[in-house]
Amino acid sequence: MSPCGRVCAAPGPGVHRLPRPVGGRRSAVMLALPLPRASEPALTATPTPALPAAVLWDMDGTLVDTEPYWIRAEHELVAAHGGRWSHEKALKLVGNDLLTSGRIIRDEGPVPLPAEEIVDRLLERVVELVRERVPWQPGALELLGALGAAGIPCALVTMSYEVLASEVVRRAPAGSFTTTVTGDQVTRGKPHPDPYLTAAKILGVDPRACVGIEDSPTGIASSLAAGVRTLGVEAVVPVPHLAGLSRASSLTQVGLGTLARIAAGEVLDVTV
């Protein structure tokens, strides 16, 4: 904070008066600088927390509100094979790697197809819907713009496959993402730490100096396991209360200052 100067009508304690000029003329000029007192420590400015080395974004539910697209695709696929799907079952898939979700749909739909084919059909439908309209989460584009202006690299860390992630990145402001890590690029998906560790390695940064933004318990577990400072932003499923986890109700509550404080080790709760 910048110091505020004061104009004094008469010298007060600690104000140093300039010597009277030669010739005896009276002078009202004073150097209004307080002299140090032994009993008062020197004032120092509060340091501003450094911005994170990188921001690692989850995609579905965090950057874009595509979970309704996935749920719609699941219902359509299960119904096409004579099965029944519920919203409760759909919520259990949020944040999972796609092959795990494919196996659950195969078994519980039931859908008599290999898990890999189920994933392909779901992806095809969700990509089709994203091409019609990208449902950006409120505040997402603004935060991406602020990070870009500040020179903070971003990575997209998603369990969706490259075919979908590329559609989203293509429609984001140019240069928003330095790299992407997708579910078909890692052997172990979320909740394992591998996706976030891979992103940090590609960017050449310490994961502990990054901030991860997630919406699902599965993704949050992955980010925390990688040692990444993590912000959970609620979307379709509740964000848990966990040690070391910051929380927000919306990206509209999150700015560069928020991310800097989280990167510095503060655990914030800006939910409303």
Q: What is the pLDDT of residues 213-256, one digit of tens each?
A: 999 999 999 999 999 999 999 998 899 999 999 999 999 999 99
- The H or E element spanning position 119 is helix 115-132
Residues designated as active site: 58, 60
246-263 residue pLDDT tens: 999 999 999 999 999 999
Q: How confident is the model at residue 96 (pLDDT cuts 50, 70, 90)?
A: confident
pLDDT at 39: 45
pLDDT at 45: 52
Least confident stretch, 21-30, 92-101, 182-191:
21-30
Tell me: pLDDT of 16 over 80: no
Strand partners, 155: 56, 179
Tell me: pLDDT of 53 over 70: yes
In the chain, the amino acid numbered 55 is V
Separation of alpha carbons 31 and 99, rounded Å: 74
CB 257, CB 241: distance < 8 Å: no
Separation of alpha carbons 245 and 188, rounded Å: 23
Q: Which residues are CB-contacts of 227 (< 8 A; sequence separation ≥ 6)?
A: 193, 207, 208
96-100-102-108 Cα dihedral, nearest 10 degrees: -100
Q: How confident is the model at residue 30 (pLDDT cuts 50, 70, 90)?
A: very low
**Ramachandran region, residue 96 (left: φ > 0; alpha: ψ -120 to 50; beta: rest):** beta
pLDDT at 48: 66
Tell me: pLDDT of 5 over 70: no
Whole-model pTM?
0.80
CB 136, CB 142: distance < 8 Å: no
